[in-house]
Amino acid sequence: MAILTKAKDKLIDGGGIFTFLRSSISSQIASWIDMGVSFIFFAWVFLPLDSFLRSMLSVAVGAVCGGVVNCCINYRFTFHAQGQPVKAVAFKYALVWIGSLLLNMYGTTFFGTLLSKWEFLLNMGFTPDGIFATSRLLVSLIVSLAWNFVLQRNFVYRASAFDPYAIRIVNFFIVKRK
C-alpha cells in the first residue's frame, strides 16, 4: 500500500519523467477530444466543402476544443503553474497553440494531399477519410512531442521576462466594465 501511495505521489508531484508522463496524460485527453471533434467535422459537418477547406477547418475546430482542455489540465495538473499569472500563461499558451494549430493544419493537409496521390494506398483501399486520419495522427504526434511539450515546459508554464508584456497585451484586449 505504501508503494502505491509513493508511486501516486511521484506521478502527481514528481519532476522529470513524471512531468512528461503527466503531460502525456493531459495530451492524450486533449488529443482524443481534438481528434474526435476533427473527425466528426470532417466526416459530417464540413462534408459539402472541397477537400482542402474541409481538412483545414476540421483540424482547426478540433484544435480549439483540444487546446482549451489541454491548457486547463496543464495549468493545474501537469506543470503545477498555479503561482503563475493566469493572463501570462494564457497568452503564452495561445502563442504556442497558434503555432501548433498552423503546424497541424498545414502538416495534415500537406501529408493528406501527398498520400492521396499515392496510387498504391488507393489500391489498398484507403479512402479520403483513412488518408485524413493517417495524416492527422502522424502530424499530431510529431507536433505534440517536438513543439507542444518542449515549449509548454520551458516557456508557457514558467515565469519569464516576457510575462509582464503578455499581461499588458491581454489587459489591452480585455473590456473593462464599470
Tell me whether residue 147 is in a domain.
yes
Per-residue pLDDT of 101-157, as tens digits, reads 899 989 999 999 999 998 888 889 888 888 999 999 999 889 988 999 999 999 999
Three-state secondary structure of the chain? CHHHHHHHHHHHHCCCHHHHHHHHHHHHHHHHHHHHHHHHHHHHHCCCCCHHHHHHHHHHHHHHHHHHHHHHHHHHHHCCCCCCCHHHHHHHHHHHHHHHHHHHHHHHHHHHHHHHCCHHHHHCCCCHHHHHHHHHHHHHHHHHHHHHHHHHHHHHCCCCCCHHHHHHHHHHHCCCCC
Residue 33 lies in a domain: yes
Range of the domain at 36: 2-173
Kindly report which listed range (15-29, 93-107, 134-148) carries the lowest average pLDDT score. 15-29
Read off the pTM: 0.74
Q: Residue 178: inside a domain, yes or no?
A: no
Q: Is the residue at 136 inside a domain? A: yes
pLDDT digits (tens, 9 = 90+) for 51-74: 889 998 998 999 889 988 999 999
How many domains does the chain divide into? 1
